[in-house]
Amino acid sequence: GGDDGTVRIWNRDTGTEHTTLTGHTSTVLSVAVTPDGQQIISGGDDDGTVRVWNRDTGTEHTTLTGHTGTVLSVAVT
């Protein structure tokens, strides 16, 4: 996650960027990956959202709202 409001997925073998996830309106402070590696969860700063993404397609599956401030961390069990 970055200051530009994106989450970037990289191929660790080649070092090339695979996908850029866009949707947050501010810094992305936290990122987690589901155990099966199929979904990415991200938490935003000023937008106060948690977003669930499909890793393969880069599409946003769900936006969770309700936080009135920064989402400092996300976790998947």
Residue 70 lies in a domain: no
Beta strands (DSSP E) in 1-77 are 6-10, 17-22, 28-33, 39-44, 50-54, 60-64
pLDDT at 77: 86
The 10 Å CB-count burial string (b at 16+, else e) for 12-25 is eeeeeeebebebbe
Give per-residue pLDDT as tens, 32-70.
999 999 999 999 998 899 999 999 899 999 999 999 999
- Note if the pTM is more than 0.75: yes
The total number of structural domains that make up the chain: 1
Write the CA distances from 35 to 40, 44, 54, 63, 75, integer angstroms.
10, 21, 13, 20, 11
Residue 75 lies in a domain: no
Confidence of residue 76 (pLDDT cuts 50, 70, 90): very high
Residue 69 lies in a domain: no
Residue 55 lies in a domain: yes
Residue 21 has pLDDT above 90, yes or no: yes
Q: Which domain holds residue 20?
A: 6-64
